Chain A
Amino acid sequence: MTMTTKKNYLRPIDFKHGRVDMTHGAGGRAAAQLVDELFARAFDNDYLRQGHDGALLPFPTGGRLVMATDGHVIAPLFFPGGDIGCLSVHGTVNDVAMSGAKPLYLAASFILEEGFALADLKRIVESMAAAAREAGVPIVTGDTKVVEKGKGDGVFISTTGVGVAPDGLCINGRQARAGDVILVSGTIGEHGVAVMSLRESLEFETAIESDTAALHTLVQTMLQALPDPTTLHVLRDPTRGGLATTLNEIATQSKVGMTIEEALIPVLPQVEAACELLGLDPLYVANEGKLIAICAPEVADQLLAAMRAHPLGRGAQRIGTVTQDSHCFVQMHTRFGGRRVVDWLSGEQLPRIC
């Protein structure tokens, strides 16, 4: 987006009552004003102020470039604990961090629906700006387009992030080995439950808030605690599909099996209750501020201690081990001592009557 200097506008944008219209995406004065008065002002940083179509960015020597991108189409846009804005920042920061990389810069593109309230847009953009500032990862470039009324869901946000991973790290989904320990950074199921609580016809009151958070500083803490960082084999955030789906993904990629202990999986009582009420299984409910770590067994205790010392890892638990299994099953020991397979999520989890 190209910035023009201010004061070419007749009057400031009415953020209280105004609505997005087709001119805001047309690349002309109205579009420029929206960028100026909203996006640039909120995201303000040196790179953005360059005012080019692309940002010219310093990049550290050494290490490897990591890039990740994510589209955000969540509805409702505002939910307990967050909104689409901060979610889009956290989501991409986390994706970059899951390689063990330090996230450096973000790009954000917006597809706005004609008629969308500018007050809501402002709220979202300011939430994004706050999230980016808190994470220390600036939004350095972006784009805005507008689609006709009925062709969008208010706003869709796409974020892309880049970061640098130090040489020597090898953290990806194919690295889990038999004997490794599986850790989770905290309680599961909060984001999904918080969002469901607002879906029309499912309304229930709960104090559960989305756990949306940027996990890169937790990852850095974890890496620093390990004398040999190559003992950390896998990092992944269990978003859509929940813990169960993510474990299955890793098992399949690494060609291993897993055994987890139901009694050790941390779930808040309110999340359990909400899931009971709706017929959902917390194992399959989305999280936006948690990570799974799989590491060599000899460093598990150290890693767990490091996670628990970080504000975002206080509830970290050891939940299972990686096994040798050509079928790549994720099995769970139930609280009863029975055994069951924890399969992939099929389709969307829909609340049930039966």
Chain B
Amino acid sequence: MCLAIPARVVELLPALRAVVDLAGVRKEVSIDLVDDAQVGDYVIIHVGYAIGKIDPEEAERTLALFAELAQSEEAQP
């Protein structure tokens, strides 16, 4: 539902704000809800606020899942 986009934190600012970068477009956002965000982290931005962080390992795992072969009928529990 909610339009939210992953962007990279490139600069931390005072008062729990940060500058994020998405393919060269920069925006200042609030990191009040993800206050442990660090430069280099990817956060999900929604209406000017970071609401969550991407776990790079989980992302890789998900991509690997996509590439798996179809399960055959017999293998199902």
Residues of A within 8 A of B (CB): 203-208, 269-270, 272-274, 276-277, 279, 352-354
A276, B22: Cβ atoms closer than 8 Å: yes
A277, B2: Cβ atoms closer than 8 Å: no
Closest chain A residue, CB of each to CB of B2: A354
User: Which secondary structure characterizes the binding site on chain B?
Assistant: strand
For residues 5 through 29 of chain B, which have their beta carbon under 8 Å from a beta carbon of chain A? 5, 7, 22-28
B23, A273: Cβ atoms closer than 8 Å: yes
A353, B47: Cβ atoms closer than 8 Å: yes
- Given known pairs A353-B2, A354-B3, the reply for A277 and B45 (CB within 8 Å) is yes
B24, A273: Cβ atoms closer than 8 Å: yes
Expressed in whole angstroms, the Cα–Cα distance for A206 and B24 within the complex equals 7
B22, A277: Cβ atoms closer than 8 Å: yes
Query: Nearest Cβ distance between residue B2 and chain A, in whole angstroms?
Result: 5
CB-CB < 8 A to B3: which residues of A? 279, 352-354
Other contacts beyond A204-B25, A269-B23, A277-B25: 9, CB < 8 A: A203-B27, A270-B23, A272-B23, A273-B22, A273-B25, A274-B22, A277-B5, A277-B45, A353-B47
CB-CB < 8 A to B47: which residues of A? 353
Query: Nearest Cβ distance between residue B76 and chain A, in whole angstroms?
Result: 28
Expressed in whole angstroms, the Cα–Cα distance for A279 and B5 within the complex equals 10
Expressed in whole angstroms, the Cα–Cα distance for A274 and B24 within the complex equals 9
Expressed in whole angstroms, the Cα–Cα distance for A279 and B48 within the complex equals 13
Q: Can you list 6 contacts pairing A with B, beta carbon distance less than 8 Å? A: A205-B26, A208-B25, A269-B24, A277-B45, A279-B3, A354-B2
**Does chain A have a CB within 8 A of B53?**
no
B26, A276: Cβ atoms closer than 8 Å: no
Closest chain A residue, CB of each to CB of B23: A273
A206, B26: Cβ atoms closer than 8 Å: yes
Residues of B within 8 A of A (CB): 1-3, 5, 7, 22-28, 45-47
CB-CB < 8 A to A354: which residues of B? 1-3
Expressed in whole angstroms, the Cα–Cα distance for A172 and B42 within the complex equals 48
List 10 A-B pairs, minimum CB-CB distance, nearest first.
Answer: A273-B23, A205-B26, A204-B27, A273-B22, A273-B25, A270-B24, A279-B3, A269-B23, A206-B25, A274-B25
Expressed in whole angstroms, the Cα–Cα distance for A295 and B59 within the complex equals 45
Question: B5, B22, B46, B47 — which one has the most chain A CB atoms within 10 A of its CB?
Answer: B22
CB-CB < 8 A to B28: which residues of A? 203
CB-CB < 8 A to A273: which residues of B? 22-25
CB-CB < 8 A to B7: which residues of A? 277
Closest chain A residue, CB of each to CB of B47: A353
A204, B2: Cβ atoms closer than 8 Å: no
CB-CB < 8 A to A205: which residues of B? 25-27
Expressed in whole angstroms, the Cα–Cα distance for A198 and B47 within the complex equals 17
Expressed in whole angstroms, the Cα–Cα distance for A279 and B47 within the complex equals 11
Expressed in whole angstroms, the Cα–Cα distance for A277 and B26 within the complex equals 10
Query: Nearest Cβ distance between residue A122 and chain B, in whole angstroms?
Result: 32
CB-CB < 8 A to A353: which residues of B? 2-3, 46-47
B5, A276: Cβ atoms closer than 8 Å: yes
Expressed in whole angstroms, the Cα–Cα distance for A269 and B21 within the complex equals 12
Closest chain B residue, CB of each to CB of A278: B3
Expressed in whole angstroms, the Cα–Cα distance for A273 and B5 within the complex equals 9
Query: Nearest Cβ distance between residue B61 and chain A, in whole angstroms?
Result: 23
CB-CB < 8 A to B1: which residues of A? 354
CB-CB < 8 A to A279: which residues of B? 3
CB-CB < 8 A to A206: which residues of B? 24-26
A270, B25: Cβ atoms closer than 8 Å: yes
Closest chain B residue, CB of each to CB of A208: B25
Closest chain A residue, CB of each to CB of B7: A277
Closest chain A residue, CB of each to CB of B48: A201
Expressed in whole angstroms, the Cα–Cα distance for A274 and B21 within the complex equals 10
Query: Nearest Cβ distance between residue B52 and chain A, in whole angstroms?
Result: 16
Expressed in whole angstroms, the Cα–Cα distance for A277 and B46 within the complex equals 9
CB-CB < 8 A to A274: which residues of B? 22, 25
